[in-house]
């Protein structure tokens, strides 16, 4: 168990429940544990064992890539790491990306953290990174996630029927999206408290 008091934790921005900060090399063992919990990964694209060396290699790759923006999710009150979230396949020319989230700590599920993370990432994507369309994929059995995404402003934009096999049956893959023009006020911009002054 990492003693967070002994580590300098960098927080990029926060909501009322969670804080988001950069990936940390000293948390790779956490990321590896989450990616080996099949109760967690059943809602992700891949459910297979991941050895620590592979996790380290992936960490090093995404740390250098401009196609991903990763954040560690912390419970705001305790600053304990509870998951990660990221934008993938970022296309700056066409201003779109895919949203992904993992709440790795079981005790942190069902508390509204996922909804707030989705809102924070949309805010970051639209108001900091200049993206316009953020989409996600979710399996039809993941009803809690679908509700959370809808609360955050995602709407269903299509589905691929019976295209994901798990638990002995085939499930639909649901596609959802959110647009910058349909997003509300930016909490991040308010927190930055800056104003642009025209030079004469």
Coil, strand or helix: which one is 96? strand
Residue 199 has a pLDDT of 55
DSSP 132-175: -EEEEEEETT-HHHHHHHHHHT-EEEEEEEEEEEETTEEEEEEE
For the chain, which residues make up each domain, given as ranges? 4-133
Q: What is the pLDDT along the chain (200 residues), one digit of tens a residue?
A: 445 554 579 999 999 999 999 999 999 999 999 988 877 777 777 777 878 898 889 888 888 888 899 999 999 999 999 999 999 999 999 999 999 999 999 999 999 999 999 999 999 999 999 999 999 999 999 999 999 999 999 999 999 999 999 889 999 999 999 999 999 888 787 777 655 555 54
CA distance 61 to 68: 10
The answer for 85, left when phi > 0, alpha when psi is -120 to 50, beta otherwise, is beta
Which CATH superfamily, name and number, covers 4-133? Gcn5-related N-acetyltransferase (GNAT) (3.40.630.30)
Closest CA to 28 of 66, 81, 99: 81
pTM > 0.75: yes
Residues known to be catalytic: 149
């Amino acid at each position: 168990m990492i003693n967070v008091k002994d580590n300098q934790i960098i927080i990029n921005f926060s909501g009322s429940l969670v804080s988001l900060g950069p990936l940390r090399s000293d948390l790779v063992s956490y990321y590896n544990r989450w990616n080996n919990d099949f109760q967690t990964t059943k809602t992700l694209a891949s459910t297979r064992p991941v050895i620590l060396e592979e996790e380290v290699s992936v960490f090093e790759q995404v740390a250098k890539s401009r196609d991903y923006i990763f954040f560690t999710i912390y419970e705001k009150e305790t600053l304990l790491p509870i998951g990660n979230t990221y934008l993938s396949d970022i296309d700056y020319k066409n201003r779109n990306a895919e949203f992904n989230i993992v709440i790795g700590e079981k005790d942190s599920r069902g508390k509204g953290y996922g909804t707030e993370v989705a809102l924070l990432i949309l805010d970051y994507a639209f108001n900091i990174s200049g993206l316009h369309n953020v989409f996600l994929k979710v399996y039809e059995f993941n009803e809690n996630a679908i509700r959370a995404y809808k609360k955050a402003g995602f709407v269903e934009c299509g589905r691929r029927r019976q295209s994901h096999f798990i638990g002995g049956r085939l499930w639909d893959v649901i596609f959802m999206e959110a647009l910058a023009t349909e997003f509300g006020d930016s909490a991040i911009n308010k927190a930055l408290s800056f104003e642009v002054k025209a030079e004469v």
